A and B are shown apart, each in its own frame.
Chain A
Amino acid sequence: MSSKKMFIVSHAPFWHNRSNIPERCYGMIWAAMPAVALGIVQYGLPAAGVVFLAVGTAILAEWLMNRLTKRTATITDGNAALLGLLFAMLIPATTPWWVVMVGTLLTVVIGLHVFGGMGANPFHPVAVSMMMLTVSWPAFMDFNAALVNYELSFNAVFPLSLSKNLGTAAVAGFTPLDLLLGQQTGGIGSTFGLGLIGGGLYLMAKRYIRWEISLSFLAGIYMTALVFHMAAPDQYAGPLFHLLTGYTLVGAFFLLPDNASSPVNPIPMLIYGAGAGFLAMLIRNIGSYHDGVLLAVLLMNLVNPLLDKIRPKALGKVA
């Protein structure tokens, strides 16, 4: 009876559903792959260079921050790689190497680690760094200027700047099918509508993102764009155009549902998503930026803690 066997002692429960963080991060990375692949096909090696540089810099930055904060190295869990990849998906293929590196460092260090690392970021790290770059170096973030030297088989003017400056008629050439198939300019991984939708469906099916947020955001975009379009059809493009251009889809499936900066209760999730859609369309149609998705993400991130106060009453809670 006095065996030398050593049993593992821990607290209940002794079962786990086997979910884990790396699985989620790499799942997100896989989901982004179709959109990134089309970007690389369209813009060639420079796009691949941007992607690899961003991912590499992000992993390096994560490792440095792990060292600095004396924590376990978390570079293999895929979160840093995911952030680098998401950042690369939003920027033009011609972004200079130093802007890519600065942006990625801002993402990982300022967006994530100064707040305490994964799970503690109040804003989506990529939205933070993208807005910092947009304010600091607007020229590099302007798709029309950045992609001027590319020979593309489609209209190479950024659709959202066309619609903003010239009205609905100017974007009549962009059919929904073109937009779905990525026949538009934009960030490396943010133009291939079909790929992003496929990735989003995969993420929702795997429950890596919460469908309430993505779908209510798309509904918010659609409804707001519809109202604008009905009020002034010549001035404001239709809802389908807005669903398939700019950062709408990448925002819906990759930015807005970020775990740490979004709510978890059903009603707050719906308000959060729909609110972001509404704000994004306000900025697009009457604000000064061409695309409002990133700002809308940041603004809704800001109210997320308040939204999550709307919660069901716990069992036995005395009012």
Chain B
Amino acid sequence: MMKLLQSQSGASVFQYPLLPQSPLPAQAIDSIGKATLLIDQMIEKKSEVDLSEGDTVQTGQRLAPFQDSAAYAISSVTGKISAIYPYPGDFGKNFTALDIEVAADDMAAPIENLEPTLESLRTYLVNAPGKPPLALLGDPNRPIHTIVVSGVDTDLLVGTHQYAIRTEIDAITKGIEVLKAAAGAEKVAIAVPRDLISGFGHTGADELKAVPPDYPWAQPKLVLYHAFGVEVPAKKTCEDMGYAFFSAESVAAIGKTYLSGHVPVDKIVTLIDKSGQVKVVTARLGTPVGKILQAAGIQTSDRDRLILGGPMTGTALYDEKQVVRADTDAVMVQDAADVSLVSDYSCINCGECVRACPTRIQVNMLVRFLEAGQYEDGAELYDLYSCVDCGLCSYVCVARIPIYQYISLAKYELARVSAVAEASDEQ
């Protein structure tokens, strides 16, 4: 796989692969020993929370330990809490981590008062497998008129959403029913790879959209552009335009919850090994990445790269103890020999990035502003906010500039600046 991709240059050669026609049942990863749950609020002192080390929890039990916050986690295993500690994440997102020693017996805690309402969904499913973006729904200032159930994966080699839409169609049908009742959206559309576009008639979806196989057309903004004919203005999001993207897996998780009365705790994960071979597995949320790789027989060694997500947009990990989260669609291992490093050359203006960019940004000019830290000018003059985060500019960069990293940093810094400005306006 890697060889094929390397021998050609340019953007159009990248195609999303289809999973085999009849995908094998995903390999289940069991006996994980220890799981780590993440709660979306960082703990500062132990007295803040109602949980303590030594407490026992059951699978599916809802843990909302903060007195002053609704942040919660659904336990994915049965066992004893062995540690509670703050857990800093990327881009300033911080968590509280709960380590749980897994017990031999798996005991499922039932859910109480499950209604097909947004409130019920938010009470149990915010961190369900696939991470349904429930926060987007029910905002009167930003109404959602179409929910897009995405059966396409945005990154290359990743087959998680595709796997979900091919194997969990009954749960998705139920999920669509619940979402329609709860969200008040007019329409539900399903987006699938172009070659799979049939057999979704009974799902209750109002529309079926085909996504072309070329990278990066499965990015939500590009799906809207090509399949729905909606061009999202540069500083707006898909939600601003009334579209909410739900991964097929998250809709299936919603459906399963309402079908069974239990919140699902198994996450579909695409494993990508060093040779680019792809394998779909399921694992409990909170399973350490190292355990999954071990169970799947994928070796890692010093100076390899370990990635949560796919090859173009994933996040590199520094150790194998990091865990599978609700939005961890893939785990990739890259051999030390295949790791390409960035250089300290400045842009030579060859224009490869400009030709690769799917949104027609003048990346060569943009990167000059971003390198100098002039983020506002970059956004204003050279379309920073048109970027859909595909990473192709960095992929083709002859000078090996970390362009995509500059872009991510610029967006992050600008978001921080505007958050500070808004906060001071309110005072």
Contact = CB atoms under 8 A, between A and B. Distances in A.
Contact of B354 (A2, A72, A260, A265): A265
Q: Which of B339, B345, B397, B400 has the most CB of A within 10 A?
A: B345
Contacts of B306: 7
Contacts of B233: 316-318
Interface stretch (A61-69, A116-124, A181-189): A116-124
Given A18-B6, A316-B234, A12 B288 contact: no
A15 B344 contact: no
Given A13-B394, A316-B221, A19 B352 contact: yes
Given A5-B302, A119-B349, A314-B383, A12 B404 contact: yes
A15 B316 contact: no
A117 B360 CA distance: 27
A3 interface: yes
Contacts of B399: 21, 119
Contact of A20 (B303, B304, B400, B404): B400
Contacts of B344: 72
A119 B317 contact: no
B9 A207 contact: yes
A316 B340 contact: no
Given A15-B5, A19-B9, A259 B305 contact: no
A135 interface: no
A231 interface: no
A117 B234 CA distance: 34
Given A9-B316, A9-B318, A17-B395, A259 B348 contact: yes
Given A10-B342, A16-B400, A315-B386, A260 B349 contact: yes
Contacts of B364: 264
A108 to B, nearest CB: 16
Nearest to A77: B345
Contacts of A15: 2, 5, 311-312, 340, 395
A316 B303 contact: no
Interface in B382-401: 383, 385-386, 388, 391-392, 394-400
Given A16-B340, A16-B394, A19-B398, A119 B348 contact: yes
B109 interface: no
A236 to B, nearest CB: 35
A316 B231 contact: yes
Interface residues of A, number: 44
A238 B321 CA distance: 74
Given A13-B312, A21-B399, A316-B234, A8 B346 contact: no
B interface majority secondary structure: loop
Interface string A289-319: 0000000000000000000100111111110
Contact of A11 (B288, B355, B408): B408
A3 B320 CA distance: 8
A193 B320 CA distance: 60
A92 to B, nearest CB: 31
A53 B345 CA distance: 27
B359 interface: yes
Nearest to A3: B320
Contacts of B311: 12-15
A89 to B, nearest CB: 21
Contacts of A72: 344
Contact of B359 (A5, A16, A207, A316): A316
Interface string B337-380: 00111111111111110110011111011000000000000000
A265 to B, nearest CB: 7
Contact of B385 (A17, A118, A259, A316): A316
B314 interface: yes
A14 B307 contact: yes
A260 B404 CA distance: 21
B348 A1 contact: no
Contacts of A16: 340, 394-395, 397, 400
A17 B9 contact: yes
B336 A12 contact: no
Given A12-B404, A119-B347, A312 B312 contact: no
Interface string A1-42: 111111111111111111111001000000000000000000
A210 interface: yes
Nearest to A210: B351
A5 B398 contact: no
A211 to B, nearest CB: 12
B332 interface: yes
Interface in A244-301: 259-260, 262, 264-265
Nearest to B13: A17
Contacts of A314: 234, 359-362, 383, 386
A317 B386 contact: yes
Contacts of B303: 6-8
Contact of A119 (B6, B334, B346, B392): B346
Contacts of A7: 300, 303-306, 316-319
Nearest to A116: B346
B349 A12 contact: no
B290 interface: yes
Contact of B320 (A5, A12, A13, A120): A5
A297 B383 CA distance: 30
B157 to A, nearest CB: 10
Given A5-B302, A19-B396, 7 more contacts: A5-B304, A13-B391, A15-B2, A16-B395, A259-B351, A316-B221, A316-B359
25 contacts: A1-B290, A7-B300, A10-B405, A11-B408, A12-B313, A12-B314, A13-B311, A13-B391, A14-B311, A14-B340, A15-B311, A16-B400, A17-B8, A18-B6, A19-B398, A21-B343, A24-B350, A24-B398, A118-B346, A207-B9, A311-B360, A316-B359, A316-B386, A317-B234, A317-B386
Interface of A: 1-21, 24, 72, 116-120, 207, 210, 259-260, 262, 264-265, 308, 311-318
List of 3 A-B pairs having minimum Cβ-Cβ separation, nearest first? A264-B351, A11-B405, A13-B391
